[in-house]
Structure 1
Amino acid sequence: MAINQVPDHVPPEMVGDFSLFTSPGMSPTPNGDPHAAVACVHAGAPIFYSPCNTRPGRGTWVITRAADQRRVLQDTETFSSHRSTFASALGENWPMIPLELDPPAHRVFRSLLNPLLSPKRVTELEPTIRERAITLIEGIAASGTSCDVMKDFAFPFAVNIFLRFLGLPEHRLHTFVGWARDLLHGDDVRRPAAARTIVAFIDELAAMRRNRPVDDFMSFIVQAQVEGRRLTDEEVRGMGVLLFVAGLDTVATAIGFDLAYLARNIKDQDLLRSEPDRIVLAAEELLRAYPSVQMVRVAIKDIDFEGAPIRKGDYVSCAAMIANRDPAEFESPNTVDLSREANRHASFGYGPHRCLGSHLARREIVIGLEEWLARIPAFRIKEGTAPVAYGGHVFGIENLILDWS
């Protein structure tokens, strides 16, 4: 099917003029708010077909209701996760593991990785996480009264923790972040180039750890066994690429959106600073309001879903940023309420593929906010600057200059 072509089985009245990539509010814009722009879809049909809602410009069915998204994400017999999202940039077809595997294979690899990112393991990492946050923030506070918070704090904090977890060299942090940015947000030239670079790096690292294992993630993977056998080279690559890419953007982005909100809402900032016990609950609400990931599934058989004739091979979008603004799920969904309880947001996905790193991500976000608010006085977006937020497969924010002079 040609890009942007609507399949014959899609009724014309079910085609919607919306895309997480190209709709108004999604392109990088000073002071833009792609999350607010997304909320407009709830004024229309609960499911529609967008002719251009993936990075290559391929169409997807867009599921707008949170309850319907949960049905899709739970139904692995109808909707597959195997899209080879990363490998397709190389013209190849292998899955990131376990993200792009379906049951029963998914369960095997998920069980292998679960202990590495369990709540117990995250608790053990907490002193290291907090120490890193304090060191960075105290350095920022000592050097002046403003900073580019993504470059100076969010990325060095979140990515450093993940690099330690993976056993990767910290001095290459900025190089790794650059690869991730090109992969997730780059054009048709930078994206495949970044993908090739990352694959070469992961393959080289795996070969090194086979010859000389140490106490790190890659050594664990190359020595691990599933169903009585060692992992294949492709399985090691698929697992290594997923963990590498997953740790280089999403948590830092979440912290950026959180600090941007607090910079614009001084009363909430003051509240959390004076009552830090509220930060855990507030972090969940900020995750709801500013998620970053669109989950896409592939129909593996024909199904009529809520009146939509979804056919085998169709892409189905379950965007967390849409589910989290569902008025049937959340009272006043476009209002950030830091005291919101029973917050059933979709920011970490749902079903068997719920984010493996959610426990670590939550602790990093909470600790980052706790230590920032404890050490930086009332801050605003620096006059004469404007943060740039953008949509896409992974939402992002940059040029976030905070000032507390």
Structure 2
Amino acid sequence: MACKPVPDHVPPEMVKDFSLFTSPGMERMPNGDPHAAVACLHDAPPIFYSPNNTRDGRGTWVITRAKDQRRVLQDTATFSSHRSIFASALGENWPMIPLELDPPAHGVFRSLLNPLFSPKRVMVLEPVIRERAITLIDRILAASTSCDVMKDFAFPFAVSIFLGFLGLSDKERDTFVGWGRDLLHGENVKRTAAALAIVGFIDELAAMRRKEPAGDFMSFAVGAQVNGRPLTDEEVRGIGVLLFVAGLDTVATAIGFDLAHLARNLKDQQLLRSEPDRIGLASEELLRAYSTVQMIRVATKDIDFDGAPIRKGDYISCATMIANRDPEEFDCPNTIDLAREDNRHTAFAHGPHRCLGSHLARREIVIGLEEWLSRIPDFRIKGGTAPITFGGHVFGIENLILEWS
């Protein structure tokens, strides 16, 4: 899609031809490295205007420094989260909750949902998570000495945990993964069809749970109250859609990038095999180095931001993959150091909208790596194959074929 004209208030010298969707390194390609491509932005000004940095071709201001991104993400009064990014694909205007709500409404729903994703709740889920990882890996080992990691492990593992949280079986997993892929990475027609399918599914599930509660997340949502009243149908939909979309892609993608790194860097692989207690710390470094999500905010008023004339309605991009390669924030940011400490990365965002499911995501990633490394012998990328990577609103990796002796 052609980008929209640069607004008159943007100085020409602040415009940079960059896009997380279309710039070199962002295209879908074998053995690509979109993270290295965005790391080069730290040679540019700390804030610039990109004429085409959203899926629908809109321009955004791009914040490159981690400290500046934190300023934006913390200031919800000036930089709003309410974009209805999912609903707008359907010509509608309801928010994903709580992601696209601003305070004080955000805090009301965040308080409602926080207990479901607390460290204590995640600890209860841990045996189920570990059992699922072991079952999948043992099945892979019994079948072959190679596998397509994304298809055979990362997606089945992450999505099955999320489906269990929703109270659903694994039977339609591939359908749901397909919806997520089309929504996050597909062209307009596929994206709209996927959005319609997801909304229809969430609405149908909510109606079913109102009639027959089942002790799962959707039963909780339809029975919950805020400010002394039940949730509206639109609010239940907004919560359900956010959980659905968040559970389909990001954890699986993180595991894929992690295993690709370990397959290419055998010293790191051997370190974690010989000292598995390091996996937790190492996973934080891998989250930093291979962050995958861009956050977009909308200016609620005119503001001068470090010399940038941001105007009301302008989009502001806070891409985690850029901030987490900031040399002002991290020593040797393009070196993946699995022993790095004081790792102040923003892979799960920052401020009031910090990822609600970060505790669960962290445990899934760590458990997935622990069980993979303890069961699969020394692995490498299979000869004659090349992982395909791509940029976008959420970075991705596919066709990751690993083999072992």
TM-score by length of 2: 0.99
The code of the aligned residue for 1:19 comes to S
The code of the aligned residue for 2:34 comes to P
The CA deviation string for residues 187-220 of structure 1, in whole angstroms up to 9 with x for no partner, is: 0110000000000000000000011111100000
> What are structure 2's unaligned runs of at least 5 residues?
none
Aligned match of 2:79: 79
Alignment of 1:318-357 (within 5 A): 318-357=318-357
**Structure 1 residue 166 displacement after superposition:** 1.1
Aligned match of 2:26: 26
Aligned match of 1:377: 377
The CA deviation string for residues 373-401 of structure 1, in whole angstroms up to 9 with x for no partner, is: 00001101000000001000000000000
| Seq. identity, % | 80
The code of the aligned residue for 1:174 comes to D
CA distance in 2 between counterparts of 1:294 and 1:353 reads 13
**Structure 1 residue 142 displacement after superposition:** 1.3
> What are structure 1's unaligned runs of at least 5 residues?
none
CA distance in 1 between counterparts of 2:59 and 2:172 reads 37
In the comparison of the two structures, how many residue pairs are matched? 404
**Structure 1 residue 17 displacement after superposition:** 1.3
The CA deviation string for residues 114-150 of structure 1, in whole angstroms up to 9 with x for no partner, is: 0000000000000000000011111111111000000
CA distance in 2 between counterparts of 1:246 and 1:57 reads 23
Aligned match of 1:260: 260
Aligned match of 1:186: 186
Structure 1 segments (4+ residues) deviating >6 Å: none
The code of the aligned residue for 1:62 comes to V
The code of the aligned residue for 2:227 comes to E
Question: Tell me, what secondary structure is at the counterpart of 2:9?
Answer: coil
Question: Tell me, what secondary structure is at the counterpart of 1:333?
Answer: coil
Aligned match of 1:286: 286
Aligned match of 1:301: 301
CA distance in 2 between counterparts of 1:30 and 1:337 reads 25
Aligned match of 2:138: 138
The alignment status of 1:218 with 2:218, answered yes or no, reads: yes
Alignment of 1:209-248 (within 5 A): 209-248=209-248
The code of the aligned residue for 2:97 comes to I
CA distance in 2 between counterparts of 1:107 and 1:33 reads 37
Aligned match of 1:177: 177
The alignment status of 1:104 with 2:104, answered yes or no, reads: yes
Question: Tell me, what secondary structure is at the counterpart of 1:171?
Answer: coil
The CA deviation string for residues 153-179 of structure 1, in whole angstroms up to 9 with x for no partner, is: 000001101110111221111110000
**Structure 1 residue 84 displacement after superposition:** 0.4
Question: Tell me, what secondary structure is at the counterpart of 2:389?
Answer: strand
C-alpha RMSD of matched pairs (Å): 0.7
The alignment status of 1:391 with 2:391, answered yes or no, reads: yes
Question: Tell me, what secondary structure is at the counterpart of 1:189?
Answer: helix
CA distance in 1 between counterparts of 2:85 and 2:335 reads 33
CA distance in 2 between counterparts of 1:233 and 1:165 reads 20
Question: Tell me, what secondary structure is at the counterpart of 2:6?
Answer: coil
The code of the aligned residue for 1:82 comes to H
TM-score by length of 1: 0.99
The code of the aligned residue for 2:204 comes to E
**Structure 1 residue 75 displacement after superposition:** 0.2
Question: Tell me, what secondary structure is at the counterpart of 1:298?
Answer: strand
CA distance in 1 between counterparts of 2:207 and 2:138 reads 39
Aligned match of 2:359: 359
Question: Tell me, what secondary structure is at the counterpart of 1:220?
Answer: helix
